[in-house]
Structure 1
Amino acid sequence: MKNYIACFLGILGTAFSARAQYTPPSVTNFNQNWQFVKDLDTSQAAQRLSTATSIKISWQNVALPHTPQLEPIQKVKEQWQGTCYYRKTFTVPTANKGRRMVIQFDAAMHEADVYLNGKHLFKHLGGYLPFVVDVSDAVKFNQPNYLLVKLNNQDNADIPPGKPIKDLDFNYYGGLYRNAWLITRNKLYISDAVQENREAGGGILIHDDNVSKESASLGVKVEVRNQYATAQQASIVLILKDVAGQTVATASTGQQTIGQGHMGTFSQSLKVQAPKLWSVTKPYLYRLTVQVLQGGKVTDVQTVKTGIRSIKFVPGGFYLNNEKVTISGTNRHQEYPYIGYALSDNAQYRDAWKIKNAGFNFVRCSHYPPSPAFLDACDELGILVMDAIPGWQFFGGPAFQVNSLQNIQDMIHRDRNHPSIVLWESSLNETGMSKEYMDKAHKLTHQELPFADTYSSGWIDYAYDVVNPARQHAKAPDYWKKYDHPKPLLIAEYGDWEYYAQNAGFNQKAYEGLQKEERNSRQLRTDGQQRLLQQALNFQEAHNDDLYGPAVGDANWLMFDYKRGYAPDIESSGIMDIYRLPKFSFYFYQSQYGPVPDANGMGKPMLFIANYWNDSKQKTVKIYSNCQQVELLVNGHSVGKQKPDQDAMANNLIHPPFTFNLNSYEAGELKAVGYINGKVAITESRKTPGKPYKIVVEADRSGKDWKANTNDALFFYAYVTDKQGTPIPNANNLIEFTVSNGAQLVGNSSVTAEAGIATALIKAGSKPTTVKIMAAAQGLKPATLNYAIK
């Protein structure tokens, strides 16, 4: 939706001002002014709830995205599952009579029944992909319409992922947790690909051909539906513009007669000279506007952001624009603390921003399709994507398999025009699938995208184009280094389970002196410096080892800590915690990117001292940097300038760490200086913290301002510091947060600091303003931050 919504913002006034008879399409955000209730007596008929009939129910006023229940960080009981209802009243002007009107839900978890004015209109199964409800013949004009969505997110073996939450490796939260839209169009319109569910059809399908630095062809297929009572003639105009708004290519088709209720298919190609190619370092995006002409006048229009690029997977390599690129990636669960899946579009972008800022060029969407806003961010930031259907260690019966195959179609129909997507994981993760299912899933992927550069992927080396197992799916010590099948290999998970299960390959002896809880990669920020260093070392060892073999790249497990259904504790192998605060391993990965900044400013020279410098027993200083040399100074005295480490855990890395072994500990200041080509590129300091004295509050902007009227939740971090502002890494003070001006604290207002930082999640209000965030604790100087909601 977001990819083409821009066509309604700005271009209409200039493109169609001379066409008085043209009624532009309307795409209205439908997120505001909902009412919500859960755990209602289900004997109360949903038909009655979706009418003006007076029923004594305590509805809660809410806005989307919304989750039915705020869930605690540590699981004290099973997450909420049950039936809930969303109700909305809206009025449609008489001017829209005779037009097509639909309501689109970007996702609803996971069994949805939609009613309008007491009539059941639609049922949808599945919690991660959109569905469209046509209300053209059901709305009343110039009077209230009563919309009701009944949701059930209880375990259902027919709806992927299918496995009961209590046995699942992640949670799926309830609610209308993504955007909703009211869309009004003329009855000769560009169809919706998900709604039409046509093979390689519906909507707009873009494919790049013959891509080079000199030229490229954009093949564009458009399907137009006619819902008028008579046949209509239509043609298509294509306009491609660059980021400056300049037209770089145009094309048009001849007229077609489209019968009543039928679909017309138009195919045309745009020739682009000297295209600016989309890449991970320069993710250039064009805007393709598609106009439908009826009798020479525009009747519908959509704009899609698109990037021009070529991709190719071969055994031993991935090529982007004919240049070999080593995939360095991560996995991401979309969960936030408290609100579960109910992230704003800006929050989705911030997650993608953190992934790129960590140095990754690839993300696997584990283990379900993400928000369209997240994919938009990957397009914009230059992050390659493996899109994935819902599934984890569960293979259900015939109904489950039908729904799973439908997930493949819906995912591709929704996401096929994103330049960032290079792999389609049409496979159920770590699931014993039948050969019949895998054959169908692979074939379906290619039927929907009948192009030479379409690549299905799956964890089993059978039907799929690219095999994407986890590192631990092969045996230590070789793992996948001796894989010799004629198929591209991508290691889609590494760094967690093989250490958790204590079979960590050829370097296992290096960990013999560690206790079980110390040697694995599941480490919280509160587990201390030594264990955070161990987590980072585990990731380093595994990533370095992956680079020995034929893999085209790898993706670590994982980016952010998350909650699981089957275990009470946080799954803590993320390189950032659930609040999106970095662990030491974050900086290891960040050091593997750069030091030349990309088009988004990522990959600058960096340096991180992985040491709190508060322990007299710690005489080793690990430094992660993408510089060529690093000099370390202790209280102003240089202890030497070094090149990167050279050992069995670093010999394949682009930028190995720097390890300084000191003769003694001397409290005070560590200062590291990074050099590139003999010149100072960056400096970093770490001071021994004094006594806790005050609080310092910072906001987590991560590339996007705090936005009003969007349910945008932003993290605010309260640091416990000494008098000079040095963070106290072992502080666990109870911090009390208060906010003003319509902003809303999510969860508890009293938060215990973890490793010196207490986190508040705060939702913006409905209007732009400046919010005062205050953090106080007994015995500490309080802090106030004035922060703008845009």
Structure 2
Amino acid sequence: MKIIVHKEILLYFIFWVSVTSFAQNKSDRELILIDKDWRFSLGHLYDTQKDFGHAEGYFSYLAKTGFADGPAAPGFDDRAWRKLDLPHDWAVEQDFSEKASYSHGFKSSGKGFPEKSIGWYRKKIMIPQSDEGKIITLKFDGVFRNSKVFFNGHFLGTEESGYNGFEYDITAYVNYGNENTIVVRADTSMEEGWFYEGAGIYRHVYLQKTNPLHVITNGTYVTSEIQNDTAEVTAEVTIENKGNYKGAIEVIQTIINASGKEVTSTAENRLAPEFYKTANFTSKIKIQSPLLWDLDAPNLYRIITQIKQEGKIVDDYETNFGIRTIKFDPEKGFFLNGKSIKLKGTNNHQDHAGIGTALPDELQYYRIKKLKEMGSNAYRCSHNPPTPELLDACDKLGMLVIDETRLMGINDYHLNDLKRLIERDRNHPSIICWSVGNEEWNIEGGIVGERITNVMQGFSKSIDPTRPVTVGISSGFRSGISSVVEIMGYNYMGNGDIDAHRNDFKDQPGMGTEEGSTFATRGIYFNDDTKHYKSAYDKKPRPTFFSIEEGWKFYASRSYLAGMFIWTGFDYRGEPTPYGWPSVTSYFGMMDVCGFPKDNVFYLKSWWGSTPVLHLMPHWNWSGMEGKEIDVWVHSNCDEVELLLNKKSLGKKKMEQYGHLEWKVNYTPGTLEAIGYKNGKKILTEIQKTTQNPENIKLSIDKENPSNANVLVITVEVTDKKGLHIPTANDEITFAVKGGKILGVGNGDPTSLEKDQFIDDITLVPITNLEEQKLTSAELLQELPTFSESDWTAAFKDRDYKIQAKSYVYRGQFDLKNISKTNMVSFFYKKIGAESVIFVNGNKVVPSAEDSQKYSFTSSILKEGKNTIYIMAKPLQKIKDWDVMNTDPGIIQVITPSEPWKRKLFNGYAQIIIQKDESGSEVVLSATAKGVKAGVLNVNQKKK
């Protein structure tokens, strides 16, 4: 069996090796990641000329099959477009603007920016002649948003939602043995959520090849029941026949454990489905002494489904699954494998500092590891289907998940989205609950909400009866959805009386699906509304809301509540409550957008985790505040904590369960020290020291970075001469990298309007006012003569292609603004003649060596403003009367090199994300700043 999988995660490589060695002969199935080498350009929402002439044709792609035009046409010239790899988020690349969407973090893209709301992607692929007879499909994990996909000029379909995976069968349209063109147009002019959603193909794309007789996508459904020391695994498989084979097939189900060993196998003889029909087959398989999937031991199995036709394996399809039991009890909360587990969860959106929504796979693991380190054991996908790699990370790392659809409703639009979500994700052992709605205020408290919930709940059960359904509710807990939902989702204690609701609905389990919404700026310990600073001390964010400590005490003390999910684990772009511009990210996170911890992380770690914790706040750099009172807090799970200032004890205090400790301390520079005691013994010490001036840049790979990963997450800081981290530093650091490329930079500052990415700017300048004159000679001149102004006529107007001149000269203009010597200007010529000679501002130019239809213009022949281009060419001849002749001379590309990558530290920290190149060479990151010594980090590549 031939499978191409993500290179980034070592586990995937092991998976590939074990599967390949297992298969006795190769099937026709291939899954090929095609993220590399796309072309991209922004189009325009309503100006078709600025949208490259798309949808201007007499016959549109909706009128006649294969009549795609503009960039959707296979022959469109995209050489001047930008080259990039997926995943890609074009919104994060844009500047900030006060006129832009509050929800999307004031990035000047999408709504209100028609020139930044359409993105075009194009890619060419070869499909060999040997693939003829296979079923070929394109698979997209997600495109934001309202995507249209074309293949070889054929319109494949539209996917409105930016969060759904989708696929198209392209078998009939393939040029076997030749080049094929994939085109995607994404439209972000409308938002789905009220939070940052990115723009473009921000998830993976695959080319899939199968036998006509195959398991459909997401075509296996694996469940298990455990009795005594035996698990009975039920494997339901849906097989489709897109060929003409009729007769017997053999369906083989083989279970493989995590070490790659075969556990058990079963085979059954069945009849193949009829042409373009599907059939479901179910197998029962027993596993003795199964290894259960658990939080600390996330044991995974794989089931390999093989189809044999006339003795040959024609398809094999693999599914990860876990064996475990879950239960929500209205009196005792949640149980995993029969053990009571308090859900210690966070809500999260899907963006990250510097890269927006286009997260490399490793960053999904990084973020889940960060949450696990905090003590969290549960994750709510707020408020949309996640990328598949997030769920893979939760499966492999042991994180429970509430999986959530985007919108409530009972029609095909809503239920089909829910169906695709559940069928895609139901084999993930991490998922414990389906969420079918969130804070639907218009319908929560009435009969409409009740009806919709009943339908969606029953519909979910028809697809996956093994998991319960929840809805997050915030406008009261007594009627409507609250009265019928299977698992009550309480969004914020201040929105209703939770205990009273529970007393009215004692058979209904419940949990806090959102709690907190506290405000904190990392590293800031005072409020300053003029600077948009929110103190990191855990306080009520609003009168009807509660602090993190108050929330956890409430949920921890009630056994009938399964747990709570904090809003949020990480800060995210958009929704910069309680402020607006120039704040561009939220303040809710336990960590900032980079994953740097705020102080509340250590409160949660104290009471969510199992290891001793001692955290002392704030920092001890308060120049100018000598003698003034400072609030000193300690987060710890020690029995007692003693506080010392410059070795003088300020007293010992006992720790209340789920609490924290406070002192009032008059500031004196020096050393603030906390000592934690357990059973009367000193077990931990934490120190905050007054630091000196910054001297060195320190670069370090974060410990949550996956081992041997293709992507590096690096923390940037400055230290004083003693090597102490300076918590108030805000130096601007400039970066350079060898052996890799920088994907993004961030620092967690909610008000930072710095660039997230530093990429070359590409501007496409059209040639306008194209005119022509007839020439009497077929010989093309190598010097530009003088032409009579009166002889110029509009180019190609009323051209009689049966009676043409021996040659023509064409003249047009292109306008260059703010041109400098650093700009790289190229002309991508589209043939308007059989042979051509080109002049710019009277100077002859020659084609480049790598592309005979590309001309690079030196700065010496260009000028600010209007420039004139002449093209002398022998005319093209029509072969057939209906041939459409090209009249577009081409496009001018202006590349403005970006500034060097840089970022200011914010309260001591910045983050840089680097992707290693494929050469295997050493990655060297250098960082410089004024007044401090440069930092260098060397990372040796390891063989995978």
Report TM bin, short chain. 0.7 to 0.9
Q: Does the 8 Å CA contact 1:108/1:176 hold for their aligned counterparts?
A: yes
Match of 2:725 in 1: 727
Instruction: Trace 1:196-595 onto structure 2 (pairs within 5 A).
Output: 203-209=219-225, 211-212=226-227, 214-316=229-331, 317-391=333-407, 402-433=412-443, 434-435=448-449, 436-451=451-466, 453-459=467-473, 460-472=481-493, 474-475=495-496, 484-496=505-517, 521-528=518-525, 531-535=535-539, 538-549=547-558, 550-564=560-574, 567-568=580-581, 569=583, 570-595=585-610
CA RMSD of aligned residues (A): 3.0
The Cα shift of 1:660 comes to 5.8
Alignment partner for residue 613 of structure 1, among 620, 630, 633?
A: 620
1:68 aligns with 2:71: no
Match of 2:634 in 1: 623
Q: For residues 911 and 215 of structure 2, what CA distance do their matches in structure 1 show? A: 45
1:478-533 deviation line (CA, Å, top 9, x unaligned): 7978664431111111112xxxxxxxxxxxxxxxxxxxxxxxx2221253368212
Secondary structure class of the residue paired with 2:513: coil
Secondary structure class of the residue paired with 2:173: coil
Secondary structure class of the residue paired with 1:253: strand
Q: Does the 8 Å CA contact 1:620/1:660 hold for their aligned counterparts?
A: yes
Task: Quickly say closer, same or farther: Cα 1:691–1:745, change in 2 above 3 A.
Answer: same
Q: For residues 393 and 78 of structure 2, what CA distance do their matches in structure 1 show? A: 43
Q: For residues 709 and 95 of structure 2, what CA distance do their matches in structure 1 show? A: 25
Q: Does the 8 Å CA contact 1:706/1:788 hold for their aligned counterparts?
A: no
Of the structure 1 ranges 347-356 and 669-678, higher mean CA displacement relative to structure 2 is found in: 669-678
Q: Does the 8 Å CA contact 2:203/2:387 hold for their aligned counterparts?
A: yes
Q: Does the 8 Å CA contact 2:137/2:169 hold for their aligned counterparts?
A: yes
Larger radius of gyration: 2
Q: For residues 760 and 274 of structure 1, what CA distance do their matches in structure 2 show? A: 45
Task: Give the AA of the match of 1:720.
Answer: V
Q: Does the 8 Å CA contact 2:119/2:187 hold for their aligned counterparts?
A: yes
The Cα shift of 1:544 comes to 1.0
Q: For residues 7 and 727 of structure 1, what CA distance do their matches in structure 2 show? A: 39
Task: Give the AA of the match of 1:85.
Answer: W
Q: For residues 477 and 298 of structure 1, what CA distance do their matches in structure 2 show? A: 57
Instruction: Trace 1:8-19 onto structure 2 (pairs within 5 A).
Output: 9-11=16-18, 13-17=20-24, 19=25
Of the structure 1 ranges 321-330 and 585-594, higher mean CA displacement relative to structure 2 is found in: 585-594
The Cα shift of 1:61 comes to 0.6
Q: For residues 466 and 759 of structure 1, what CA distance do their matches in structure 2 show? A: 39
| Number of residue pairs matched by the alignment | 715
1:647-672 deviation line (CA, Å, top 9, x unaligned): xxxx5x3xx43x26477655433444
Q: For residues 500 and 735 of structure 2, what CA distance do their matches in structure 1 show? A: 48
Secondary structure class of the residue paired with 1:95: helix
Q: For residues 715 and 675 of structure 1, what CA distance do their matches in structure 2 show? A: 35
Q: For residues 633 and 191 of structure 1, what CA distance do their matches in structure 2 show? A: 66
1:422-456 deviation line (CA, Å, top 9, x unaligned): 110011434423333222211211111134x4434
The Cα shift of 1:379 comes to 0.9
Structure 2 residue ranges without an equivalent (≥5):
45-49, 56-67, 101-106, 111-116, 474-480, 528-534, 541-545, 745-756, 759-900
Of the structure 1 ranges 374-383 and 41-50, higher mean CA displacement relative to structure 2 is found in: 41-50
Of the structure 1 ranges 736-745 and 216-225, higher mean CA displacement relative to structure 2 is found in: 736-745
Q: For residues 923 and 15 of structure 2, what CA distance do their matches in structure 1 show? A: 31
Q: Does the 8 Å CA contact 1:715/1:760 hold for their aligned counterparts?
A: yes
Task: Quickly say closer, same or farther: Cα 1:183–1:243, change in 2 above 3 A.
Answer: same
1:180 aligns with 2:182: no
1:105 aligns with 2:119: no
Secondary structure class of the residue paired with 1:609: strand
1:47-103 deviation line (CA, Å, top 9, x unaligned): 342444254773111111011233469654423122211111001111111011111
The Cα shift of 1:110 comes to 1.8
Match of 1:128 in 2: 163
Q: Does the 8 Å CA contact 2:148/2:186 hold for their aligned counterparts?
A: yes
Of the structure 1 ranges 579-588 and 760-769, higher mean CA displacement relative to structure 2 is found in: 760-769
Of the structure 1 ranges 37-46 and 79-88, higher mean CA displacement relative to structure 2 is found in: 37-46
Of the structure 1 ranges 288-297 and 87-96, higher mean CA displacement relative to structure 2 is found in: 288-297
Match of 2:688 in 1: 686
Task: Give the AA of the match of 1:339.
Answer: I
Task: Quickly say closer, same or farther: Cα 1:75–1:618, change in 2 above 3 A.
Answer: farther
Q: Does the 8 Å CA contact 2:629/2:665 hold for their aligned counterparts?
A: no
Match of 1:171 in 2: 196
Match of 1:776 in 2: 928
Secondary structure class of the residue paired with 1:590: helix
Q: Does the 8 Å CA contact 2:248/2:271 hold for their aligned counterparts?
A: yes
Q: For residues 73 and 481 of structure 1, what CA distance do their matches in structure 2 show? A: 48
Q: For residues 721 and 759 of structure 1, what CA distance do their matches in structure 2 show? A: 16
Q: For residues 130 and 745 of structure 1, what CA distance do their matches in structure 2 show? A: 24
Q: For residues 720 and 73 of structure 1, what CA distance do their matches in structure 2 show? A: 27
The Cα shift of 1:335 comes to 1.1
Q: For residues 321 and 76 of structure 2, what CA distance do their matches in structure 1 show? A: 49
Task: Quickly say closer, same or farther: Cα 1:186–1:6, change in 2 above 3 A.
Answer: farther
Of the structure 1 ranges 521-530 and 358-367, higher mean CA displacement relative to structure 2 is found in: 521-530
The Cα shift of 1:700 comes to 3.0
The Cα shift of 1:9 comes to 2.0
Task: Quickly say closer, same or farther: Cα 1:287–1:629, change in 2 above 3 A.
Answer: farther
Task: Quickly say closer, same or farther: Cα 1:454–1:217, change in 2 above 3 A.
Answer: farther
Secondary structure class of the residue paired with 1:376: helix
Q: Does the 8 Å CA contact 1:427/1:441 hold for their aligned counterparts?
A: no
Match of 1:199 in 2: none
Of the structure 1 ranges 285-294 and 612-621, higher mean CA displacement relative to structure 2 is found in: 612-621
Of the structure 1 ranges 35-44 and 128-137, higher mean CA displacement relative to structure 2 is found in: 35-44
Q: For residues 555 and 93 of structure 2, what CA distance do their matches in structure 1 show? A: 37
Secondary structure class of the residue paired with 1:223: strand
Task: Quickly say closer, same or farther: Cα 1:674–1:218, change in 2 above 3 A.
Answer: farther
Q: Does the 8 Å CA contact 2:27/2:316 hold for their aligned counterparts?
A: no
Match of 1:29 in 2: 33
The Cα shift of 1:258 comes to 2.4
The Cα shift of 1:408 comes to 0.8
Sequence identity percentage: 27
Q: For residues 316 and 675 of structure 2, what CA distance do their matches in structure 1 show? A: 55
Q: Does the 8 Å CA contact 1:389/1:428 hold for their aligned counterparts?
A: no
Task: Quickly say closer, same or farther: Cα 1:114–1:16, change in 2 above 3 A.
Answer: same
- The structure in which a higher percent of residues are strand is 2
Q: For residues 635 and 154 of structure 1, what CA distance do their matches in structure 2 show? A: 59
Alignment partner for residue 185 of structure 2, among 132, 150, 166?
A: 150
The Cα shift of 1:547 comes to 3.0
Q: Does the 8 Å CA contact 1:47/1:119 hold for their aligned counterparts?
A: no
Secondary structure class of the residue paired with 2:412: helix
Q: For residues 473 and 541 of structure 1, what CA distance do their matches in structure 2 show? A: 12
